[in-house]
Amino acid sequence: MVRQDRKKLFFRILGESYIWLLLLLMYLPVLVLMIYSFTTSTNLGQWNGFSFDLYFELFNDHEVQVAVGNTVIIAVVAAVLSTLIGAIGAVGVYECKPWVKKTLDFGTQIPVVNPEIVIALSLIVMFVFLWGIFGNFGLSFWTLLAGHLVLCVPFVYLSVKPKLMQMDPALYEAALDLGCTPRQALRKVVIPEILPGILAGFLIAITLSLDDFIVTAFTAGPGLLSGDSTISTISTYVEGIIKKHPLPAELRALSTLIFLLVLLLVVGVTVFNNVKAKQGKKRKGRQY
């Protein structure tokens, strides 16, 4: 028994050490970036004293403001629409016949495993084809939005689907038996049950949209805050800058702000899901 306990303890310590090592390798570069966002040195490793100057420069840089504004608008619109389409699609597929469900599940997983370059090339070929048919059709904000929807919707669908499978089907039927219309049962029973999956899908969608470069580079046209110029996002702005110049120091401040914002969203959703899970356990305990 003592030897088995020592063996279990050894493997537990080994496993935890491995996880902590992975987390350190993942987040140490981000931590270094955050620390050096509070100094004006152009090179990492050189400390010129604590300062908020990079943050002031960030908010005074017009090109960065345009790129950030475009990125936020596209990410929010794409995430909201992707969440609506993905959640409604997941509910619809859940009620389909088994062979239809399997077919749609398989089709939804293709964009997830497909390389982004394949998606981007397919989209641009389709847009060129439409351009040839309609004549005045060209790249714009709408083509960019369509590309982000193609990228994000499958991930929302895959986030909502497990929650639907965990839900007791009798709840929806009971709501109908108690006098709810199908729409009321969907709003009062189904949506609250799958809400954690919807929120998780929204976070994934907004992260994918913020982070995307390939689809954006292929499908972006003029519009939004860029006016008559091609829409510039954070990823395309950084890519354009590093072609000609070293990476601007104020982007360290921008990266820090983005990381903290995403961290707050993740923490908020996690707390919400934990509270909802505890409430669900309390309800089940009262029923018994």
Q: What is the pLDDT of residue 229?
A: 83
Q: What are phi and psi of 230, to 5 degrees?
A: -65, 135
pTM given for the model: 0.78
Nearest CA to 199 out of 281, 82, 284, 77 is that of 82
In the chain, DSSP finds a helix count (H) and a strand count (E) of 12, 0
pLDDT lower than 70: segments of the chain: 1-3, 135-137, 280-288
Nearest by Cα to 123 from 142, 104, 136, 103: 142
Give the model's pLDDT for residue 207: 86
Same structural domain, 28 and 75: no
List all residues 6 or more positions away from 250 whose beta carbon is below 8 Å from its beta carbon: 54, 55, 57, 58, 61, 64
The amino acid that residue 171 corresponds to is: L
Is residue 169 one of the residues assigned to a domain?
A: yes
User: For residue 84, what pLDDT is reported?
Assistant: 92
Tell me whether residue 58 is in a domain.
no
Q: How far is CA 182 from CA 166, 187, 226, in A?
A: 20, 9, 44
**DSSP per-residue string spanning 229-267:** SBP--HHHHHHHHHHHSPPPTHHHHHHHHHHHHHHHHHH
Q: Is residue 259 part of a domain?
A: yes
DSSP run (H or E) holding 13:
helix 2-35
Residue 56 lies in a domain: no
Task: With both helix axes pointing from N to C terminus, report the angle between 62-94 and 250-287 in degrees, rounded to the nearest 10.
Answer: 30
Per-residue pLDDT at 2:
61
Please give the pLDDT value at position 34: 86
Please tell me the predicted confidence (pLDDT) of residue 288: 53
Domain boundary among 9, 29, 51: 51
- The Cα–Cα gap between 117 and 170 comes to 43
Does the residue 57 lie in any domain?
Answer: no
**Cα–Cα distance measured from residue 99 to residue 177, given in angstroms and rounded to the nearest whole number:** 28
- Residue 175 confidence (pLDDT): 79
pLDDT of residue 176: 77
Distance CA 170, CA 207 (A): 35
Q: 224 and 170 in one domain?
A: yes
Residues 247 and 215 occupy one common structural domain? yes
Q: Are residues 84 and 192 in the same domain?
A: yes
243 and 148 in one domain?
yes
Q: What is the CATH number of the domain that holds 136?
A: 1.10.3720.10
Instruction: Give the chain's domain count.
Output: 2
Please give the Cα distance from 31 to 248 (Å, whole number).
18
- 220 domain residue, yes or no: yes
Domain that holds residue 254: 63-287
